[in-house]
Amino acid sequence: MDTTLTAVRAEFPLLDKCTYLNSNATGAYPRGMEAVLQRYAQTLQNWRDEVWEGWWADWLGYADAVARFLGAPAGSVATDANLSSLLGRLATCFDYQGERRRVVMTELEFPTVPFIWRGFGRYGADAVVVPSEGGRMDEERLCAAIDERTLLVSVSHASFATGALLDLEPVVKRARAVGALVAVDAYQSVGTVPIDVEALGVDFLLGGAHKWMCGSMESAFLYVRPALLPTLRPAATGWFAGEQPHTFEPARDWAPTARRMTSGTPAVLPAQLSQVGLDLLARVGMPTIRAHSLRCTARVMARADDAGLTVVTPRQEARRGGVVALRFPGDAEVTRRLVARGFICSYRGALRVAPHFYNTLEEVDRFMDALEAEARGEKA
């Protein structure tokens, strides 16, 4: 294992307690978060309103750090408690009365995505769901559904269920050609797959910290392509989105930066906590993280093949994110038994194995030994 990876592994106390291969559900928490929590408690115990000056800087500083991590300029990322709130707020920026009112997504979106767009049906949005095949999204079918009636393409980068990666290039190209915008739910890729929003050319990219980014719960983000910022006038808004919240005057306009996509009193503690995980990811670097992830997921697939388990996740490197989904008779029950024994994984229609940069290949093997034995009905 790379020496940086070995050093960073020591930052995650959870790894001493179990075999943790569950980063697509919740990442392991870095020990540096404890100091942040203590500082927060002390701040509350000695409260003065002036604390807000430092908190404001921490909150916005974290958003800018996420922007940097995504290859985007400062001021292009807003944070909020969850992705659903940010996507819902983004949805309030558009007009659904004209010809261009379709929102195109795939069958593999996280449930929040179709729920929001069907909800916006009451304002005229027309949700179009493109069928998928075999646990992966089909770019050709998706592109064929994008036309001059499309306002927005709202798709996942990596499927939450199978880890299948969508090739965004043809999708962005098709959307550009017909004048549609692209919003990517990258919750299941940011932190395990390198992402450069400018190279991808996406208009919006959403994600959250508590999975692959080793950050806190209640810590999601939205990137907006800077040229679009002045055009976004969210109706579901709040005083922190205004030009000058500290004047306590009713805002006349939204902030010029992505702060315009926030709402009320911000989630400062989640931002402070998530900065710890982001610093660790930056310390290791995404190329190293991705290379290690591909090694670990290749090992999971090879072991699954040897054991006769069905690999649902696409095998091509460019087509898979950080998770391998496995199907076999009794998989849901085996997931429960593994978790009870301290082999932590999750189930969403298939057993999901999700190694991250802090896991070792030995851990992957230990996990697969236990899984094979449970699948055969014995214990390793």
Ligand X SMILES: Cc1ncc(COP(=O)(O)O)c(C=O)c1O
For the record, the structure tokens of 87 come out as: 């996507």
Specify the residue, 94 or 160, whose C-beta has the smaller distance to ligand X.
Answer: 160
For the record, the structure tokens of 44 come out as: 């509350």
Instruction: Pick the stretch among 82-90, 118-126, 241-249, 294-302 that binds ligand X (CB under 6 A).
Output: 82-90
Specify the residue, 281 or 323, whose C-beta has the smaller distance to ligand X.
Answer: 323
Q: How far is the CB of 252 from ligand X (least distance, A)?
A: 30
Q: How far is the CB of 263 from ligand X (least distance, A)?
A: 14
Give the one residue of 220, 286, 309, 354 binding ligand X; rule: CB under 6 A: 220
Buried (b) or exposed (e) across 68-91, using 16+ Cβ within 10 A?
ebbebeebbbbbbbbbbbbbbbbb
Q: What angle do CA 51, 52, 53 make, to 5 degrees?
A: 90
Give the one residue of 27, 75, 191, 208 binding ligand X; rule: CB under 6 A: 208
Give the one residue of 62, 160, 358, 367 binding ligand X; rule: CB under 6 A: 160
User: Which residues, numbered 1-60, are part of the site for ligand X (CB under 6 A)?
Assistant: none
The structure tokens 């997921």 sit at: 297
Q: At what angle do helices 286-307 and 268-284 cross, to 10 degrees?
A: 80
58: left (phi over 0), alpha (psi -120 to 50) or beta: alpha
CB 192 within 8 A of CB 23: yes
Give the 3-state secondary structure of residue 318.
helix
Q: How far is the CB of 201 from ligand X (least distance, A)?
A: 21
Give the one residue of 19, 23, 76, 82 binding ligand X; rule: CB under 6 A: 82
188 lines the binding site for ligand X (CB under 6 A): yes
262 lines the binding site for ligand X (CB under 6 A): no
Question: Which helix H or strand E contains 156, and what residues bound it?
Answer: strand 150-156
185 lines the binding site for ligand X (CB under 6 A): yes
Specify the residue, 70 or 370, whose C-beta has the smaller distance to ligand X.
Answer: 70
Specify the residue, 11 or 109, whose C-beta has the smaller distance to ligand X.
Answer: 109
Instruction: Pick the stretch among 63-71, 79-87, 254-262, 296-304 that binds ligand X (CB under 6 A).
Output: 79-87
- Cα of first residue to Cα of last residue in the chain, in angstroms, is 25
Q: How far is the CB of 366 from ligand X (least distance, A)?
A: 26
Give the one residue of 110, 115, 123, 239 binding ligand X; rule: CB under 6 A: 110
The DSSP annotation for 16-36 comes to GTSEE-BTTT-PPPPTTHHHH
Q: What angle do CA 353, 356, 357 make, to 5 degrees?
A: 155
User: Which residues, numbered 111-130, are part of the site for ligand X (CB under 6 A)?
Assistant: 112
User: How many chain residues interact with ligand X (CB under 6 A)?
Assistant: 12
Specify the residue, 347 or 370, whose C-beta has the smaller distance to ligand X.
Answer: 347
Q: How far is the CB of 18 from ligand X (least distance, A)?
A: 20
Cα(254)–Cα(262) distance, integer angstroms: 10
Instruction: Pick the stretch among 97-105, 185-193, 292-300, 309-317 that binds ligand X (CB under 6 A).
Output: 185-193
* Cβ burial, residue 102 (10 Å; 0-12/13-18/19+): buried
Footprint of ligand X on this chain (CB under 6 A)? 82-84, 110, 112, 156, 160, 185, 187-188, 208, 220
